[in-house]
């Protein structure tokens, strides 16, 4: 089965998922523009009958999302102000981020870009490529979204060819959660594209709980690593998902066991509807110090927060 066919089997309705999980009486929230979207692979990891499962919690549209909490906004990280064109965000020196698509392998309820006004179905990047070409300070392009691996290999290849033609760009970063839900996406044509380019690829995956991982996922990532592509993980600290020292320890140790290095542990971006996921910073700092005690230094992520207007993701120092 192709990854597209696998993706078509995603759960997109709560009654169907509830039946599959044997969970009764829990009401799903019919979110107006960000519906349930969960790959089978992840659904199968959810404990049957457990409405508090840490995987389910990340994807179940809960009624709490309808709450309007002071301090939580539609654009918590200032994406709008960093928009150089429809699909180009530039916040940090040397790096520019392409919002390649609105589509994702899954819908994470705490996503800070869930309200972004994506350009609908249009895979041209003329304006963005022109701006990147005109700014020789840009040495790295980050493919983001949405999830850049939602694009077909053909569209990706075409985009990468255009980026390659800009001599000052050296590195190509993928920010993707696809391998966690549909590792089949790391297919032979994609690997060929990555191998052929003169750009140095870097993969930043997004995994928040050890239960999300399995042997197929590690095998898919291993194919990237075999091409000497660094694979890093960026996680979000989430209430009720990974807010204990034991879970975080297990997550970062398991990733390290497979050569995936901890990059960031992100303080939750305060997007409207996600307040029930927030872990206070003081608690996060305590969790981090426990991690530093129990893990080798390279396995401990940098605990950061994105503050609009700051020149880098702000480290939350101990
Ligand atoms: C997070 C982000 C980056 C990447 O920042 P790093 O600290 O290099 O990982 C780049 N551009 C934008 C717009 C971002 O939001
Ligand atoms: S995969 Fe990433 S971009 Fe897509 S919903 Fe989840 S956090 Fe947001």
Domains detected in the chain: 3-66 (no CATH), 79-315 (3.20.20.70)
Distance 105 CA to ligand 2 centre (A): 8
Distance 177 CA to ligand 2 centre (A): 7
Residue 122, pLDDT score: 81
Site to probe by mutation for ligand 1, drawn from 76, 94, 97 as the one with most ligand atoms within 8 Å of Cβ, is: 97
Measured from the Cα of 175, ligand 2's closest atom is 2
Q: Is 83 in the pocket of ligand 1 (CB under 6 A)?
A: no
Q: Is 148 in the pocket of ligand 2 (CB under 6 A)?
A: no
- Per-residue pLDDT tens for 254-274? 999 999 999 999 999 999 999
Q: Is 155 in the pocket of ligand 1 (CB under 6 A)?
A: no
Q: What is the mean pLDDT of residues 7-21?
A: 97
Angstrom CA distances, 288 to 61, 307, 316, stand at: 29, 20, 10
Q: What is the mean pLDDT of the chain?
A: 97
Q: Is 39 in the pocket of ligand 2 (CB under 6 A)?
A: no
- Per-residue pLDDT tens for 217-260? 999 999 999 999 999 999 999 999 999 999 999 999 999 999 99
Query: Would the CA dihedral through 311, 312, 313, 316 be positive or negative?
Result: negative
Q: Is 111 in the pocket of ligand 2 (CB under 6 A)?
A: yes
Cα distance from N-terminal residue to C-terminal residue, the chain: 48
Angle, in degrees to the nearest 10, between helices 188-196 and 153-164: 0
Q: Is 147 in the pocket of ligand 2 (CB under 6 A)?
A: yes
Among the residues of 30-177, which ranges form H helices?
Answer: 40-43, 54-59, 126-133, 153-164
Query: Would the CA dihedral through 263, 111, 183, 143 be positive or negative?
Result: negative
Angle, in degrees to the nearest 10, between helices 215-226 and 188-196: 30
Q: Is 183 in the pocket of ligand 2 (CB under 6 A)?
A: no
Angstrom CA distances, 210 to 13, 54, 206, 234, 238, stand at: 25, 10, 11, 13, 13
Question: Binning pLDDT at 50, 70 and 90, where does residue 25 land?
Answer: confident
Residue 318, pLDDT score: 61
Number of residues that this document lists for the chain:
318
Question: Binning pLDDT at 50, 70 and 90, where does residue 28 land?
Answer: confident
HSE value, Cβ hemisphere, 13 Å, CA-based, for 118: 20
HSE value, Cβ hemisphere, 13 Å, CA-based, for 203: 29
Distance 144 CA to ligand 2 centre (A): 9
Residue 295, pLDDT score: 98
Beta bridge partners of 261: 232
pTM of the predicted model as reported, rounded to 2 decimal places: 0.97
Distance 203 CA to ligand 2 centre (A): 15
Q: What is the mean pLDDT of residues 296-310?
A: 97
């Amino acid at each position: 089965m192709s990854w597209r066919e696998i993706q078509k089997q995603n759960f997109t309705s709560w009654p169907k998922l509830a039946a599959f999980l044997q969970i009764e009486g829990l009401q799903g929230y019919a979110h107006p523009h960000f519906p349930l979207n969960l790959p089978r692979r992840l659904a199968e990891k959810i404990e049957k009958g457990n409405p508090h499962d840490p995987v389910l919690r990340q994807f179940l549209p809960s009624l709490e999302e309808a709450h309007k909490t002071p301090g939580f906004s539609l654009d918590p990280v200032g994406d709008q102000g960093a928009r150089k064109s429809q699909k180009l965000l530039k916040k940090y020196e040397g790096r520019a981020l392409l919002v390649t698509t609105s589509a994702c392998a899954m819908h994470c309820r705490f996503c800070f870009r869930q309200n972004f006004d994506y350009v609908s179905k249009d895979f041209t990047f003329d304006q963005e490529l022109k701006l990147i070409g005109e700014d020789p300070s840009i040495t790295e392009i980050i493919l983001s979204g949405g999830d850049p691996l939602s694009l077909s290999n053909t569209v990706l290849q075409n985009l990468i060819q255009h980026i390659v033609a800009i001599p000052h760009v050296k590195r190509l970063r993928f920010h993707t959660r696809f391998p966690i839900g549909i590792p089949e996406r790391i297919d032979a044509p994609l690997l060929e594209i990555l191998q052929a380019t003169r750009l140095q690829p870097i993969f930043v995956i997004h995994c928040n709980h050890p239960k999300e991982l399995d042997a197929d996922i590690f095998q898919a990532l291993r194919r990237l690593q075999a091409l000497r592509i660094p694979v890093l993980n960026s996680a979000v600290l989430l209430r009720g998902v990974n807010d204990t020292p034991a879970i975080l320890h297990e997550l970062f140790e398991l990733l390290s066991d497979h050569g995936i290095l901890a990059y960031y542990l992100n303080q939750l971006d305060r997007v409207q509807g996600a307040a029930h996921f927030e872990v206070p910073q003081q608690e996060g700092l305590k969790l981090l110090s426990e991690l530093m005690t129990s893990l080798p230094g390279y396995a401990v992520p940098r605990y950061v927060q994105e503050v609009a207007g700051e020149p880098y993701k702000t480290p939350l120092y101990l």
